[in-house]
A = this chain, B = another copy of it.
Amino acid sequence: MSTQLVNETEAGERAKKAPVRVAVAGATGFAGQELIRLLARHPYAVITVATGSQATSTPRRLPALARIWDGTVVPLDIAAIDADVVFLALPEAASADIAPALLASGKRVVDLSGAFRLRDATARTKWYPATAALPDGVAYGLTEFEFDAIRNARLLSNPGCYPTASLLGLLPLQRAGLLQPGADIVIDAKSGISGAGKAATDRTHFSENHGSVAAYNPFGHRHTPEMEQSLGRPVTFVPHLVPLDRGILASLYTRLVPGTTAAAVGAAFERAYADAPFVRLTGDHLPEIKHVAHTNFCDIGWKVDEAGGRVFVVSVIDNLVKGAAGQAIQNFNVMCGFDQRAGLL
């Protein structure tokens, strides 16, 4: 019985009578469709409107979601969005453009783009030039580490898929003071092709990826500053495309403060995630993408080389769920005072 899995909060009780009215802008992309799929069965939310990514999109149905959500995706028109909370699954320039107006009209916003992730103005101008400024009330939505900020956020900036997997694997050790200061942190991430987006390009052609693996953007991916912001130190990050549809496996390599034991590493993880319903620790039985596909779980395993002072961490997520739509809803739940797990199990 699922009832044991979600605690009915006071806010949840209220929402059963008067569900939160939510809108999704950008409902036809991969993350947008996943949002619709999840929100359609959310116990406390009702979708009032779903839009395409442009004012000129033609109205359309989502056949893959027939019987799950049978509404029509309409052209993007901010003025016509009637909702308490608006999810933006748009390119970052569109989010940067639209979010301020939505906030001004009193709506809360959950933005899945990178537009509002970087606090440092210089970095933000470099990587997200369309973002004029960070609005008040913005929170970075790495749920497991930003719970209190998220609860009160007006604008929730949902983390990137690579930072989600990588930070969940590194922050417990960093915050416990176990990572050797100054040591290199190498993040080698493997992502399914849905991470490259829905546009048909040479890069997303089946024949380019079947039977292949490709590294891209070494030292130059814009998720790097996002990770460095949370960790407070530099990282070496290289993403790779692997021939599967959904999922990320992040391989994390660095050094520990001399004398750190495997037991201390395990304890740091256990402590960090004692109350986290979506993080599953697998210890030295390393996790695989398969186990988290189509779920909001992040599975984390690790191996410590005590003699050599090295640690290797593996963190896996579904890039469209915990790396995008699922975490967005998890954050929405926190913002509304619901059980984090509502609609996600």
A-to-B contact residues, CB < 8 Å: 1-3, 5, 16, 19, 30, 40-46, 63-64, 66-68, 183-184, 186, 188, 190, 192-194, 198, 200-202, 204-216, 218-219, 234, 236, 238, 240, 242-247, 249, 251, 253, 255, 277-278, 280, 282, 285-286, 288-291, 293-294, 297, 303, 305, 308, 310, 312, 314, 316, 343, 345
Contacts and interface: CB of A to CB of B under 8 A. Distances in A.
B41 A212 contact: no
Given A198-B205, A206-B245, A208-B290, A236 B43 contact: no
Interface centre among A46, A215, A293, A303 (most CB of B within 10 A): A215
A22 to B, nearest CB: 10
Interface centre among A193, A216, A312 (most CB of B within 10 A): A312
B245 A242 contact: no
A30 B207 contact: yes
A200 B198 contact: no
23 contacts: A1-B41, A1-B43, A1-B45, A1-B46, A2-B43, A63-B285, A64-B290, A64-B291, A184-B184, A184-B255, A190-B213, A193-B206, A200-B201, A200-B204, A206-B210, A211-B289, A212-B293, A213-B242, A213-B247, A213-B288, A213-B289, A214-B249, A253-B253
